[in-house]
Amino acid sequence: MARAAVVWLRLQLVLALSCSSVTASPAPAPRLGLQTLLHQAPQAQPPLQQRRLHGRFLHITDFHPDEFYTVHSSSRAGVACHRGKGMAGTYGAETTDCDSPFSLVDATLGWIEANIRDDIDFVVWTGDSARHDSDERHPRTVAHVLDSNRAVADKFVDAFGSSRARLAIPVIPNFGNNDFLPHNIMRPGPNKWFHEYSDIWKRFIPEEQRHSFEFGGWFYVEVVPAKLAVFSLNTMYFFDRNAAVDGCADPSEPGYKHMEWLRVQLQRMRDMGMKAILMGHVPPARTDSKQNWDETCWQRYTLWLQQYRDVVTASLYGHMNIDHFLLQDTAKIDLALDAEEVRVRSSMEEDVTVQSKGDYLQELRAEWSDLPGSALFVSDDDDDKDDVGSLKKKKKKKGKKHKYKKIGGKYAERFQLSLVSPSVVPNYLPTLRVFEYNITGLDQSAIWKDSFDVEAAPQSTVPEPWGEEHEDAHQELRRKVTTEKKKKKKKNGHKGKKGKKRPEDPGLIIPDGPPKDALPGPAYYPQPFTLTGYVQYFANLTYINNDIPDSAVDGSKWRGGNPEDRSPKHKPPQPRTFRYEVEYSTFDDKVYKLPDLTVKSYLNLAYRMGVKEKGAELAAWDDCDDDDDEDDVFEEKHVDDDVDGERNKGEKKRQQEENKTWLHFLGHAFVKTVPLEDLEKM
């Protein structure tokens, strides 16, 4: 009886609480029933703060994780840090051809989550999230490649996910040339690789873009809704080493279809008043002797960017592991090339030495030496400080237009810029890059929100089996790749043999350019979405791995090599705390002197590095159209011709200054892993 009374009293107390108002606090609280209180109990956490634009984004590329990586193994060719004894560190074997351990992937994303994630607006991730085929004992298979990419994608979701199982910011992935089999060889879509990746990347590809992706492996994301989109280009269909396709001129080729899709989408961006960042894995590198892309693809891409220069904000790439930039010259657009002209350049090898990459950079420098002299002065023009109204008026003046005629006007619109970031895989040292962009007037812009519903997500369908009989075809067979490449060359004609004149494509639609009274685009003139600079970070694995004896290396600095003839300092390994640190920043680099990342700023830098190729004679300036005071010109070049006896002294100083800029560029190209004396030999 007593127990029943207690139960009755408790029930009365509950009823009283559910009907009475709370008056304990100075301000009356709202009436809350017991059920309401019970339902609200799990929601005691404070509401998430509204995200805002920060004007920064991350570019990260080429993880190349290797599930067979073994700490303190050998980095010899063919062993690939899989076995043997050596100096392979806990977080990777720096300056070797070994791929990354998953510990480097985890540590990198962990550092980003702790230090960068909350200060950026989106992530550009330009592919190659599977290992190379460097060890015959462990040939790559479909399962290895897909599992590696799925693991990295899941780690991105964890690093950039919010507490409610949604992504806090958009992540835009991209195909690398090792993300399928055989490497480099991607066949036209739809195919099973696209089907698999539509599931692996389901958190990153917008639902409305899924059809485009499953058809051709391309898509875009509106990272700032209705204002800025990032386009993930499938550069495998442009890649000169892809023997399964043949350029971008034939309407039946996936490269042609990709370019048409890009043209249509860029026109939509223009019509909607939006801007676009283009990103891909293989950059459109092109020198006198070598190239990455099929020439027909390079031609159309360069034409598209010329016509949509009011839309495209930036072009970002990876793949090459070295830090550098490219200037595409629209004066080289020629849509009716001889077969001989198309075949004159050879493909760039993927795995090359520091010296051969140095040769490639020297070829770029040789091209920069041919830049018109006005490239040197264009970044100093004061017109950029004027307001928009006066700028439109000044565009109508003929004097300025003639003054910079050789570079496409005072905003250097003859040229286009591609920025190539170094990689996470420590062929040199792990690297990542944080860009900043102009967000003036964008404080009220809509913010990207993850619309993916984890609970309502469609179940991924299991594709048809790849087939046991085809398993060999899905391993890395270099012999087959070489054979297919030879067949392709034979079909298209031998290199050097004069071919018939290629007729102009009657189906080619040349897009309209920007309206004549339109302002230059963000890549040319500072405005919202113009890239203002970047900070580059690197992880000093020599110090972090803590394996080289103190007598052999200064722990705080790079000294070179992952030597085979030494034993690790600690067994088991005792790595130091993992972290990235600033390598350099374009905002305060006193050698680069980049006020922003517009085309004209890089044109100025390229000219300063390339002028050495023109020789020591002052006559090298004869091609300059500028009417600036000559004293200013020679001050920039450190040449004093007031007294003949002083000319050699001034010329020597000018030469030293040029070498300083070039060596500075080379040092960063290899992430400070190459000694100065070796750089000077390049």
Asked whether residue 437 is assigned to any structural domain, the reply reads yes
**Window from 74-83, 294-303, 525-534, 635-644 with minimum mean pLDDT:** 635-644
- What residues make up the domain containing 112? 56-378+410-449+510-538
568: pLDDT confidence band, cut at 50, 70 and 90?
confident
What pLDDT sits at residue 403? 82
How much of the chain exceeds pLDDT 90, in percent?
62
φ/ψ of 41, rounded to 5, equals: -55, -45
The CA–CA distances, whole Å, from 131 to 48, 148, 378, 587, 648 equal 38, 8, 44, 34, 53
Asked whether residue 669 is assigned to any structural domain, the reply reads no
CATH code of the domain in which 122 resides? 3.60.21.10
Tell whether the model's pLDDT for residue 408 goes beyond 90: yes
Across residues 589-613, what is the average pLDDT? 92
334: which 2 tokens? Answer: 């020629």
The pLDDT tens digits for 147-167 are 999 999 999 999 999 866 799
The pLDDT tens digits for 657-670 are 558 999 999 999 99
Asked whether residue 487 is assigned to any structural domain, the reply reads no
The pLDDT tens digits for 102-153 are 999 999 999 999 999 999 999 999 999 999 999 999 999 999 999 999 999 9
Burial 56-73 (b: 16+ CB within 10 A, else e): bbbbbbbbbbbebbbbbb
Asked whether residue 515 is assigned to any structural domain, the reply reads yes
What pLDDT sits at residue 577? 98
620: pLDDT confidence band, cut at 50, 70 and 90?
very low
Amino acid symbol at 388: V
What pLDDT sits at residue 642? 45
Collapsing DSSP to helix, strand or coil, 654 comes out as helix
**Window from 98-102, 127-131, 261-265, 373-377 with minimum mean pLDDT:** 373-377
Tell whether the model's pLDDT for residue 391 goes beyond 60: no
Amino acid symbol at 589: D
The pLDDT tens digits for 212-253 are 999 999 999 999 999 999 999 999 999 999 999 999 999 999
Distance from the Cα of residue 485 to its chain's centroid: 28
314: which 2 tokens? Answer: 């930036």
Mean pLDDT score across all residues of the chain: 81
What pLDDT sits at residue 29? 37
Q: What's the CA gap between 255 and 257, in Å, rounded? A: 5
Burial 549-584 (b: 16+ CB within 10 A, else e): eeeebeeeebeebbeeeeebbeeebebeebebeebb
Tokens 């040789």 label which residue? 366
What pLDDT sits at residue 42? 41
Across residues 608-613, what is the average pLDDT? 78
3-state SS of the chain: helix, strand, coil percent to 5? Answer: 35, 10, 50
Amino acid symbol at 563: P
Collapsing DSSP to helix, strand or coil, 269 comes out as helix
396: which 2 tokens? Answer: 């109508």
93: which 2 tokens? Answer: 């074997």
621: which 2 tokens? Answer: 């300036």
What pLDDT sits at residue 394? 54
Tell whether the model's pLDDT for residue 494 goes beyond 70: no
530: which 2 tokens? Answer: 């113009």
16: which 2 tokens? Answer: 């009283």
The pairing of strands 171-172 and 228-232 is unpaired
Nearest to 183 by CA among 137, 127, 227: 127
> Is residue 655 packed enough to be buried (19+ CB in 10 Å), middle (13-18) or exposed (0-12)?
middle
374: pLDDT confidence band, cut at 50, 70 and 90?
confident
User: What pTM was computed for the model?
Assistant: 0.82
**Window from 383-397, 499-513, 584-598 with minimum mean pLDDT:** 383-397
The pLDDT tens digits for 542-558 are 999 999 876 555 443 44
Asked whether residue 306 is assigned to any structural domain, the reply reads yes
Tokens 């207690």 label which residue? 6
Asked whether residue 348 is assigned to any structural domain, the reply reads yes
What pLDDT sits at residue 633? 28
Q: How many domains does the chain have?
A: 1
Q: How far apart are the first and last CA of the chain?
A: 98
Distance from the Cα of residue 333 to its chain's centroid: 24
Higher pLDDT, 448 or 37: 448
Asked whether residue 339 is assigned to any structural domain, the reply reads yes
Asked whether residue 296 is assigned to any structural domain, the reply reads yes
Across residues 513-520, what is the average pLDDT? 90
